[in-house]
Amino acid sequence: MAEKVLMLALSPTMEEGTIVKWLKKEGETVKNGDILCEVETDKATMDYESIQEGTLLKIVVGEGGAAKVEQPIAIIGKKGEDVAALLAEIEKSGSSEGPAAVENAGGAAAMGRTTAGGVAASAGGPAAPSVADFGGSAATGNGRVKSSPLARLLAQEAGVDITGVAGSGPGGRVVKRDVESARGNLGFGSGVAGIPAGARSAGPVAGGASPHSAPVAASAVPSSLKSEIVPISGKRKVIAERLSQSMFTAPHYYLRLAVPADAMVKARAALNAKRDRKVSLNAFLIKFAAEAIKRFPSVNSSWQGSTIQMFGSIDIGLAVAQPDGLITPIVRDCGSKGVVQIDAELSVLIDKALSGKLKPEEYNGATFTISNLGSFGIDEFTAVINPPGSAILAVGSIKKEPVVGPDDRIEAKTLMRLTLSCDHRVIDGAVGANFLSTLSSFIEEPVRILF
User: What residues act catalytically?
Assistant: 424
Task: Give residue 361's identity as a one-letter amino acid code.
Answer: E
DSSP one-letter code for 344: H
Which of 411, 116, 129 is CA-nearest to residue 262? 411
For residues 222-252, one letter each, b for 16 or more C-beta atoms within 10 angstroms of the residue's C-beta and e for the rest, the string is: eeeeeeeeeeebbbbbbbeeebeebeeebeb
Q: Are the C-beta atoms of 342 and 334 separated by less than 8 Å? A: yes
Q: Residue 164, SS3?
A: helix
Spatial CB neighbours of 110, under 8 Å, sequence gap ≥ 6: 91, 94, 99, 120, 121, 122, 123
Instruction: Round to whole Å and give the CA distance between 432 and 423.
Output: 9
Instruction: Round to whole Å and give the CA distance between 319 and 286.
Output: 12
Question: What are the Cα distances from residue 216, in Å, to 171, 200, 374?
Answer: 39, 19, 17
Instruction: Round to whole Å and give the CA distance between 143 and 74.
Output: 32
Task: Give residue 237's identity as a one-letter amino acid code.
Answer: K
Convert 304-373 into a string of H (helix), E (strand) and C (coil): CCCCEEECCCCCEEECEEECCEEECCEECCHHHCCHHHHHHHHHHHHHHHHCCCCCHHHCCCCCEEEEEC
- What value does the CA radius of gyration of the chain take, rounded to a whole number of Å? 25
Angle between helices 339-354 and 281-295 in degrees, nearest 10 = 120
Kindly tell me the sign of the dihedral angle through the C-alpha atoms of 317, 318, 321, 326: positive
